Chain A
Amino acid sequence: MQTEIVKGTDITYEYVHYDENGKVDFSETALRGVSLDVRPGQFIAILGHNGSGKSTLAKQINALLLPSTGTMVVDGHDTKDASKLWDIRQTAGMVFQNPDNQIIASVVEEDVGFGPENMGVPTKEIWHRVKRSLKAVGMWEKRGESPNRLSGGQKQRVAIAGVMAMEPKCIILDEPTAMLDPGGRKEVIDAALELNRERGITVILITHYMEEVIKADRVLVMDRGKVVLTGTPREVFSKVELLRKYRLSVPQVTQLGFELQKAGLDLPDGILTIQELVTELKRLRGGSDGNQD
């Protein structure tokens, strides 16, 4: 009886480079024994430096890449089983970094309908899905517009709607906010959270922005092809010095809490939000408005 929607066991992956004669020139190991369990409805975040293997791992989940050794099982299907490829891709949809590389139609609603149409969904049902998906990401009003007139954040939300319309159980977002302004980043992260919380879709978010993962159920930290740290956001972000070693950082509020701790203030580890910090500082201010929190 398996309950995980994504179960990776001891996965290694090698990128093999060939010379002009088709002989193996050299190979690079991108994943070194990664195991991963994601239960349905979880919000998982993956952090790691450039080249740590995050995207390689993400591409294993919808069978864009297959493990060199080890296994990846998605919704009960081994990704090595070629006959199940389309089931796997339908279960796990991906959104990439650059919105301009994944939008293909000249009108927003047609772009969102492209995926289900390819899957052979009946026309009436396609429109139904397009409407539901665009509403979910707050882009229904823009359905008749040309995607190239949208902002970066809006384009990414259209891309997410396009994946949603295929009704995947799991959406993998690979640095979806890297090219966006602060407003666009917030739109995309809010849309992902909404899909997770309101519709129970499993979300796997890969990002370089530490503050985007504080609402995740679990955070995985990758370093040189391995998962080196895993836990709740609070557990992970309590390890300020260790994360720095892995070329990462912590959200600025967490950093501030850490610096204040070092300066002698009696604060708990891993403060994640402004509200938590304010509450703790009120406690420390003590005296008249003391410990009521």
Chain B
Amino acid sequence: MGIRIEHLSYIYNEGTTFSKTALSDINLTIADGEFIGVIGHTGSGKSTLVQHLNGLNIPTSGKIYVDGKDIHKEKESLRSLKSKVGLVFQYPEHQLFESDVLKDVMFGPRNQGLSDSEAMMRAREALRLVGLDESVEKKSPFDLSGGQKRRAAIAGILAMEPSVLVLDEPTAGLDPKGRDEILDLTAELHEKKGISVILVSHSMEDVANYVSRIIVMDEGKILYDDTPEKVFVHVKELEAVGLAAPEMVYVMKALREEGFDVDYSADTVDLARREILGALAGKNRKC
């Protein structure tokens, strides 16, 4: 399911003294089945942008097309859009509210007009997908651990069977293992279910490890839109806008300065390991 954004601008509190331009003239095409990372400093417009994708924010100007249809032209397309594009907010566990986990996850599909038994099937399937088994279904969502709560909240979105999943900083506040679990889960949904994933993140390392395309936001505009290898070459420019390159890029840079024959674009530990072993093997061939 493709998304096309044309000349999108968004102004908060337009016409008041607090008026603030959050997005200006964004043009973007997202193809079916992509895995995209959106990075940018706090206040760069990342969240404002992704909240347009399911019609939560209404553009001040510009158009958004999903499946070729202008989402703000008819009411009906906006309603079905909420099912197509699932949005997981920052700290989604703050939105858990039902008396037990199963009911909480059933809330979305029920709102879509499904019967209780259908909603329950969807909810169970979604819970299994995020790795929560039957034993948690009857528990209060508030008795789960931090990582479990977050997974339950994501299940609530998945139960609506979206074809695009947008996650706004899904790993904030989680321990390293919890971070890996959530990101591995996202990658699995992308691979096995063919869901398009848009991941908003403050971790350059996570983005380097998982996505195939990065959109860098700055001051409400798109600064770069390219593959991770090509984006992370711009170390200086990224630092100037409050970001950084993944740590491995700095390692590669330091090694090159010392004359090691390694590639800049190695942005993950695995790639860096291969580059270093390759460079050393080249040097030591005579031994």
Chain A residues close to B by CB (< 8 Å)? 48-52, 97, 151-153, 175, 178-186, 208, 210-211, 244, 247-249, 251-253, 255-256, 259-260, 263, 265, 274-275, 277-278, 281-282, 284-287
Contact = CB atoms under 8 A, between A and B. Distances in A.
Interface of B: 40-43, 145-147, 169, 172-179, 202, 204-205, 239, 241-244, 246-248, 250-251, 254-255, 258, 260, 269-270, 272-273, 276-277, 280, 283-284, 287
B175 A181 contact: no
B178 A277 contact: no
Q: Which 5 A-B pairs have the closest CB atoms?
A: A183-B242, A247-B177, A50-B146, A249-B176, A152-B42
16 contacts: A49-B175, A49-B177, A50-B146, A50-B147, A51-B145, A151-B42, A181-B42, A248-B176, A248-B177, A252-B247, A256-B269, A274-B254, A281-B258, A281-B276, A281-B280, A285-B283
A175 B171 CA distance: 14
Given A50-B178, A153-B42, A285-B280, A183 B254 contact: no
Q: Which of A52, A151, A183 has the most CB of B within 10 A?
A: A183
B239 A183 contact: yes
Nearest to A282: B258
A151 B41 contact: yes
B283 A287 contact: yes
Contacts of A251: 247
A178 B174 CA distance: 9
Nearest to B43: A151
A175 B91 CA distance: 15
A244 B176 CA distance: 9
Given A151-B43, A248-B176, A263-B277, A285 B260 contact: yes
B272 A256 contact: yes
A184 B169 CA distance: 15
B56 to A, nearest CB: 20
A181 B247 CA distance: 15
A211 B204 CA distance: 13
B145 to A, nearest CB: 5
Given A178-B173, A182-B244, A285-B260, A247 B254 contact: no
Contacts of B248: 252, 256
A256 B145 CA distance: 31
A282 B254 CA distance: 11
B165 to A, nearest CB: 22
A249 B183 CA distance: 15
A97 B172 CA distance: 10
B41 A184 contact: yes
Contact of A208 (B176, B258, B276): B176
A287 B145 CA distance: 54
B202 to A, nearest CB: 5
Contacts of B280: 265, 281, 284-285
A58 to B, nearest CB: 15
A210 B255 contact: no
A88 to B, nearest CB: 27
Contacts of A180: 42, 202
Nearest to A286: B284
Contacts of A274: 247, 250-251, 254
A265 B241 CA distance: 37
Contacts of B173: 50, 97, 175, 178-179, 208
Contacts of A260: 273, 276-277
Contacts of A97: 173
Contact of B243 (A175, A182, A263, A281): A182
A253 B247 CA distance: 7
Contacts of B244: 182-183, 186
B177 A183 contact: no
A183 B258 CA distance: 27
Contacts of A179: 42, 169, 172-173
Contacts of B287: 287
Given A208-B176, A277-B251, A256 B273 contact: yes
Contacts of A175: 173
A277 to B, nearest CB: 7
Contacts of A151: 41-43, 242
A42 B176 CA distance: 25
Nearest to A178: B173
Contacts of A256: 248, 251, 269, 272-273, 276
B172 A178 contact: yes
Given A211-B247, A263-B273, 13 more contacts: A49-B178, A52-B175, A97-B173, A182-B204, A182-B242, A208-B176, A247-B175, A247-B177, A252-B247, A260-B273, A263-B277, A274-B247, A277-B251
